[in-house]
Copies of this chain bind each other. A is one copy, B any other.
Amino acid sequence: MHQAFSRRAGLAGLAAAAGALALSPRFAFAQAAAPAAASQAPGFYRFKVGSFTVTTVHDGFAARPVAGFVRNAPLEEVQKVLAESFLPTDTIRIPFTVTFVDTGRQLVIFDTGNGVTPAGATNGRMIGNMRSAGIDPARVNLVVMSHFHGDHIGGLIDAEGKRAFPNAEVVVPEVEWRWWTDTGNESRSPEGQRATFANTARRFAPYQGSIRQIADGAEVAPGIRAVAAHGHTPGHTCYLIADGDAQAMFVADATNRPELLARRPDFHIVFDFDPAMAEASRRRIYDRVATDRIRVTGYHFPFPANGYMAKEGNGYRFVPADWSSAL
């Protein structure tokens, strides 16, 4: 122990030395710092839901102009809401985060990320971040889809067009499946969403024989239950994850960024298939998770994309869960 060192004399010496050093040039510019490794931390985060292990894995982000993103409110009103959360008001960053649940019996992934993206893209990081998290795509038993927009189904296939999850069954909401596999619905779909028909055919093709359609409210696997939240797309579905008393809900695209759309559930965004139905669904889902204080993961939530919804005014405030180094 350094208490052996004469405290009073030692402190006096230290104090004198400190005083003398104040003007010394020895340290102020002694050594230029070697540049720190400039990479960001890997994008994954783990927490428990009962005995289940949940891992959220980041797929990067896309950016688009704020102008035009919300269809039923003036730009200034949208920008005001973004600024309250200290977010940029010219460009909206849309993050992508995939939720994995290891139930001990099965390794389940909810939605699949953007998939293969061009070099330099800011998304398409899921496979790399899975590697950092120690998750091998070959170990995934079940792929559970919320809906069929491109950023959710893109990752079903790899660069060769083969199954990205070679050993997985794919669970799809039957309403969603029926809509996007019937090209007769094209003319009844918003123009911006018509590419989803061809993309659905392409992305699911390698999984023929491994696709299971489920009804609203169905139990997908022990501990995982579908919760219909139609509107964002015809069959958009959330999933309740439960082990004993512990619960979490993957709310998928009940909203895009919660800082904007949970705060203002009345805002209708360009990606909503049926905006009024989408609004009713998100109010129902968020009211449930807020009332029951159920933890949520969201696909477009700020990474690590897990937290809680608190009722506030006419909307909800997303409260990130406390980050913990311990599982």
Q: Are B323 and A303 touching (Cβ within 8 A)? A: yes
CB distance from A294 to the nearest CB of B (A): 11
Q: Are B141 and A19 touching (Cβ within 8 A)? A: no
Q: Are A33 and B303 touching (Cβ within 8 A)? A: no
Chain B residues near A58 (CB-CB < 8 A): 325
B-binding segment of A1-9, A64-72, A110-118:
A1-9
Q: Are A33 and B205 touching (Cβ within 8 A)? A: no
State the CA gap A293–B257 with chains docked (Å).
Answer: 21
State the CA gap A201–B220 with chains docked (Å).
Answer: 61
In this complex, how many residues of chain A approach chain B with their Cβ under 8 Å: the count is 104
Chain B residues near A178 (CB-CB < 8 A): 15
State the CA gap A135–B325 with chains docked (Å).
Answer: 19
CB distance from A264 to the nearest CB of B (A): 16
Q: Say yes or no: is A119 at the interface (Cβ < 8 Å to chain B).
A: no
Q: Say yes or no: is A234 at the interface (Cβ < 8 Å to chain B).
A: no
Binary B-proximity of A23-66 (CB < 8 A = 1, otherwise 0): 00011111111111111111111100000010100101100000
Q: Say yes or no: is A291 at the interface (Cβ < 8 Å to chain B).
A: no
CB distance from A176 to the nearest CB of B (A): 12
Write the chain B residue with the least CB distance to A107.
Answer: B33
CB distance from A20 to the nearest CB of B (A): 8
Contact A172-B18, Cβ < 8 Å, known A33-B107, A58-B325, A326-B122: yes
Q: Say yes or no: is A202 at the interface (Cβ < 8 Å to chain B).
A: yes
Q: Are B201 and A2 touching (Cβ within 8 A)? A: yes
Q: Are A133 and B14 touching (Cβ within 8 A)? A: no
Q: Are A213 and B103 touching (Cβ within 8 A)? A: no
State the CA gap A35–B11 with chains docked (Å).
Answer: 47
Q: Say yes or no: is A125 at the interface (Cβ < 8 Å to chain B).
A: yes
Q: Are B212 and A21 touching (Cβ within 8 A)? A: yes
Chain B residues near A308 (CB-CB < 8 A): 86
Q: Say yes or no: is A327 at the interface (Cβ < 8 Å to chain B).
A: yes
Q: Are B41 and A44 touching (Cβ within 8 A)? A: yes
Q: Say yes or no: is A167 at the interface (Cβ < 8 Å to chain B).
A: yes
Write the chain B residue with the least CB distance to A46.
Answer: B40
Q: Are A46 and B53 touching (Cβ within 8 A)? A: no
State the CA gap A176–B84 with chains docked (Å).
Answer: 37
Q: Are B202 and A3 touching (Cβ within 8 A)? A: yes
Q: Are A167 and B15 touching (Cβ within 8 A)? A: no
Q: Are A7 and B44 touching (Cβ within 8 A)? A: no
Q: Say yes or no: is A275 at the interface (Cβ < 8 Å to chain B).
A: no
What are the 6 tightest A-B residue pairs by CB atom distance, in nearest-first order?
Answer: A37-B134, A27-B169, A33-B107, A18-B211, A303-B323, A86-B308
Chain A residues proximal to chain B, CB less than 8 Å: 1-3, 5, 7-8, 10-11, 13-15, 17-19, 21-22, 26-46, 53, 55, 58, 60-61, 84-87, 93, 95, 100, 102-107, 122, 125, 132-136, 139, 141-142, 161, 167-169, 172, 177-178, 181-183, 198, 201-202, 204-205, 208-214, 221, 293, 302-304, 307-308, 310, 319-327
